[in-house]
Structure formats: C-alpha cells, structure tokens
Amino acid sequence: MTGTDTIIATPGTAAAALLAARDVLKYFGDDRRPVLEHVSVQLNEGEFVALLGPSGSGKSTLLRILAGLMEPSSGEVLVHGSPLEGPNPSVAIVFQSFALFPWLDVLQNVELGLLAMDVSDDERRRRALEAIDLIGLDGFEEAFPKELSGGMKQRVGFARALVVQPEVLFMDEPFSALDVLTAENLRSELRDLWLAKTMPTKAVVMVTHNIDEAVSLADRILVFGANPGHIRVELKGLSQSDRSEKSAPRARLVELIYRIMTNPEDDAIAIVEQSLQGRTWPAVARDSARTTGARARRYQVLPEVSIDDLTGLVQYLGGIGGHAAVQDLARDLQMRADDLLAIVEATDLLGFGALHERQVALTPIGARFADAELDEEKAIFRSQALDHIALLHHIVRDLETAPTHTLDAERVIDELEHSFSGEEARRQFETAVDWGRYAELFTYDDSSGELTLDEEHTLRRR
C-alpha cells in the first residue's frame, strides 16, 4: 500500500487541469465566518461539471473566484497550472438574470462580450453574428430585450458568453428563471451543442438547484454543504446512455442525490455507502468520492463477491482473449448485470481488470493470475490484496503488531462502523475475511470470533 489510507482521488493533477482551485477559503469583509472553506476542485478537458447545494453554500462565490472576478482570502486558482491574477480570460459566464442592456439590441448585446477584447469592429460583428446563428437567434439581431421572451433573452446571454469562444463556460442557474418547457428546450439545445462539439468550449461548469438537470447533463456532480460552504461529496455522472429519462441507474442516482441533499447534517460519503449496500453502482465513483469536511473515509467499499466468482471471471476472461463487453458477459454467463458488475468491480479493485466504457479488460497481472497454478494464483492474489485493499492491509498490520498475533473480529467491525453502517460494516468484514483467508493472510475462527495471523505471509516477509 502506498500513499495515504484513503481511496480518495480526483482524476488528473491540478497542473494538468484546465482550471483548478486549491484549498480556497473566502471571507467577506470583517465577517470571520468563511463563506467557503477548504474548497479544492479541478476541471479537466471535456468535462461537464454540475454544482448542487443549498442556498448560501458558496456556489456562485466559487464561480466568481474561478473566473477571477473575486480573489480568494487564501488558497489559489490555477489556469493550466499557473496562478491566476485578475479576470480569467478563458472563462465566460451565463447568469440566471440574463443581465442584458435594455437600450442595446440583440446584436449589440452580444457584441458586448467582445468589447474587452482587442478585435476590429468588422471582426466583432462577424463573430457576434456567428454566435447568434449558433444559438438560434438569427432574425432577432435588431430586437430589443423587452421584445423578447425569457427563453430568447437567455439565448442572448448564451450568445454573449460564447462569442468570446471561451475555453471554459460557466453557467449560474441558467434555466431557473425560465418556464419549464422553455427551460427544457434550451437545456436540450445546449446539450446537443456541447455533445456535437460545435463550440470551442472545452469544459462547462453549471450551478443548478435541479437534480434532474444535473443528472441529465453532468459528467461529475459536486454537492455543496453550507456553513461554511464546502464540497460534501463528488459523484460521477451517468454514461450518456443511462441519462435517458427511464433508465434505472438514473433513477438511483437522482434518489441518492436527493437523500444527500435532504440530510445536510449527515456524512454524504456514508449515505453513498449505505445506498450502495456493498454492491456495485456504476453511477457512483467511489474513487472520486471525497470529503473536504469532517471525516474522510478510510476504506473502499468491497463488493460482496466470493473468491470463486472472482477467480472464475478472471479465468473466463483469460480464456476469451482478455476482454469483453460487460453486456456480452452478462449474456454469455447468464448473470444479472448488477451481480456481474460487482465481480467486475472486485477485479478492478484488485488490479486484475479495468472497466472502461462498458468493456472489461484484464491487466497484465490479471492475465498472469488467470493462467497461474493454484500456488502462484494465491501468491498473486495476496500481493494484489495487500497493495490494493486497505482493510486487508490494516488487518494484517494489526495482527503483526498484536503480541499474540490475534485480533478480535468485533474490534475490526467496531472500527469499520466509523466508515459504514452496522450491517454494512459486518458485510465488509465478511468479504475481507473471505478474501484474506483465501490469500492465506490469516485464519478466522467463527466460533471464537478470532483472527490469527498466518506467520508465513506477513508484511515483513514481503
């Protein structure tokens, strides 16, 4: 096991990100209560990120800080790895309130976006007309804001943001002021534009109060908490195909976010884990779930998977060339998708396989495991388990330090209850024991509830 005990991680590094905030703290005036505390986020190319959270949790403040319209009290903002000073030229913002000038017509309002930039009048006009065209406003160039419906006004807001061809687009509740149908229409147009990559924009951050909106659009969802504003949890968004109205993963993710948001005092990570109940859930990235708040989780969630199923799947994959689509596997092995995904998740945790775009592929070590005779198989498993499974590593370490090299199961379960609900803690323990016994890391006596170190395979002997 290298590095920290947590499994908390965000993809990429701050230096490689388009835009990143590092440990941002923000006070206003003399108020000693921060509005934002310990906020770190990063935005990678190709991402659509949604920010959800209660009123006053600092979402808009964070956008302003990232846009360089406001300085953090401490911490920093990095643009392509370099500290930001002053307004961020790579960002444009769409506001809820449209913020149009009533005395300017549509074309002039859109051109305003380019005023701060050094472009000729002709160029400005040309680009404004292009943006107007892109956003479906042609024919309205000479209209004034008061002649426009809310939806058309917000199109002007979008055109004015997009005319600068921003690398990053921020939207602060862009659809909240619109009626439902207009909002839906604009939202789907925006989604089409984004997916068709017609805009030069490389990433989008959207603040919203609407869970459905976040789930429909976002690749990553950050749920904020208030007092002080902080990120409670980061959830992976759905795949494009799961975003459709009727998909079950979508319903589950909406339900999960709803539970997190209606329980503001609870540890969001614990809510995620309770909802998972030890099963795999493609909608939620455990490895990107992170708290910046009170308690960081110490252990990954081990899917409830038996060694037989795990080795069976790895060997099966080995036999069919090392990779397959999960859907095909479910069909060929006649398994339910969620049971199969739990096993895939376990192979992924152990480093035997990698799940990417619904394809599971064996890693080199996974391929070796698939081919190995029993002794070597166990040795590989042991090594992978100690390196990748924090709980097993800790149990073995504790067994080694205990004078009698034994450990009371209840003690391990008590500790797990800091991270999981009671029932889940027990399930996690049972899975770990199942894997650890197979790896010959320890033995477990069910009746006495005692774990005993297998002296042959201690950490010190590795």
Q: Which residues bind ligand ATP (CB under 6 A)?
A: 28, 35, 53, 55-61, 229
Least distance in Å: CB of 148 to ligand ATP? Answer: 24
Work out the angle between the directed axes of helices 268-276 and 248-262 (0-180°, nearest 10): 150
Least distance in Å: CB of 56 to ligand ATP? Answer: 4
Neighbours of 311 (CB within 10 A): 20
User: Binds 44, which of Mg ion, ligand ATP, none (CB < 5 to 8 A, cut-off by type)?
Assistant: none
Least distance in Å: CB of 172 to ligand ATP? Answer: 7
User: Binds 61, which of ligand ATP, Mg ion, none (CB < 5 to 8 A, cut-off by type)?
Assistant: ligand ATP
Question: 186 by DSSP, 3-state: which?
Answer: helix
Least distance in Å: CB of 62 to ligand ATP? Answer: 7
Least distance in Å: CB of 23 to ligand ATP? Answer: 18
Q: Do the Cβ atoms of 8 and 296 come closer than 8 Å?
A: yes
Q: Is the dihedral of CA 201, 204, 206, 211 positive or negative?
A: positive
Q: Do the Cβ atoms of 340 and 326 come closer than 8 Å?
A: yes
Question: How many residues are listed for the chain in this entry?
Answer: 462
Nearest to 1 by CA among 287, 430, 299, 280: 299
User: Binds 57, which of Mg ion, ligand ATP, none (CB < 5 to 8 A, cut-off by type)?
Assistant: ligand ATP
Between 55 and 447, CB nearer to ligand ATP: 55
User: Binds 237, which of ligand ATP, Mg ion, none (CB < 5 to 8 A, cut-off by type)?
Assistant: none
Q: Do the Cβ atoms of 347 and 353 come closer than 8 Å?
A: yes
Least distance in Å: CB of 363 to Mg ion? Answer: 43
Buried b (16+ CB within 10 A) or exposed e, 37-70: bbbebbbbeebbbbbbbeeebbbbbbbbbbbbeb
d(CA 269, CA 266): 9
Least distance in Å: CB of 165 to ligand ATP? Answer: 26
d(CA 195, CA 183): 18
User: Binds 150, which of ligand ATP, Mg ion, none (CB < 5 to 8 A, cut-off by type)?
Assistant: none
Q: Is the dihedral of CA 284, 288, 292, 294 positive or negative?
A: positive
Place of tokens 């948001």: 261
Q: What is the DSSP letter of 418?
A: T
User: Binds 56, which of Mg ion, ligand ATP, none (CB < 5 to 8 A, cut-off by type)?
Assistant: ligand ATP
Selected range binding Mg ion among 6-14, 54-62, 159-167, 212-220, rule: CB under 5 A: 54-62
Using the rule CB under 5 A, is 208 a contact of Mg ion? no
Selected range binding Mg ion among 60-68, 225-233, 317-325, 393-401, rule: CB under 5 A: 60-68
Nearest to 297 by CA among 63, 68, 9, 26: 9
Selected range binding Mg ion among 53-61, 149-157, 161-169, 441-449, rule: CB under 5 A: 53-61
Between 69 and 104, CB nearer to Mg ion: 69
Between 61 and 419, CB nearer to ligand ATP: 61
Least distance in Å: CB of 110 to ligand ATP? Answer: 25
Between 202 and 220, CB nearer to ligand ATP: 220
Residues contacting residue 190 through CB under 8 Å, at least 6 positions apart: 158, 217
Q: Do the Cβ atoms of 52 and 224 come closer than 8 Å?
A: yes
Question: 316 by DSSP, 3-state: which?
Answer: helix
d(CA 58, CA 63): 9
Q: Could you tell me the two tokens for 447?
A: 């009746």
Between 10 and 60, CB nearer to Mg ion: 60
Determine the residue with CB nearest Mg ion. Answer: 60
Least distance in Å: CB of 63 to Mg ion? Answer: 8
Between 61 and 431, CB nearer to ligand ATP: 61
Between 140 and 175, CB nearer to ligand ATP: 175
Q: Do the Cβ atoms of 264 and 226 come closer than 8 Å?
A: yes
Cα distances from 72 to residues 53, 91, 427, in angstroms, run 20, 17, 44
Q: Could you tell me the two tokens for 346?
A: 């376990």
Least distance in Å: CB of 294 to Mg ion? Answer: 24
Q: HSE on the CB side for 303, CA within 13 Å?
A: 23
Between 208 and 419, CB nearer to ligand ATP: 208
Between 39 and 256, CB nearer to ligand ATP: 39
**Identified binder of Mg ion from the candidate list 57, 60, 154, 431, rule CB under 5 A:** 60
Between 229 and 237, CB nearer to ligand ATP: 229
d(CA 289, CA 42): 14
User: Binds 351, which of Mg ion, ligand ATP, none (CB < 5 to 8 A, cut-off by type)?
Assistant: none
Between 77 and 128, CB nearer to ligand ATP: 77
Residues in contact with Mg ion by CB under 5 A are 60
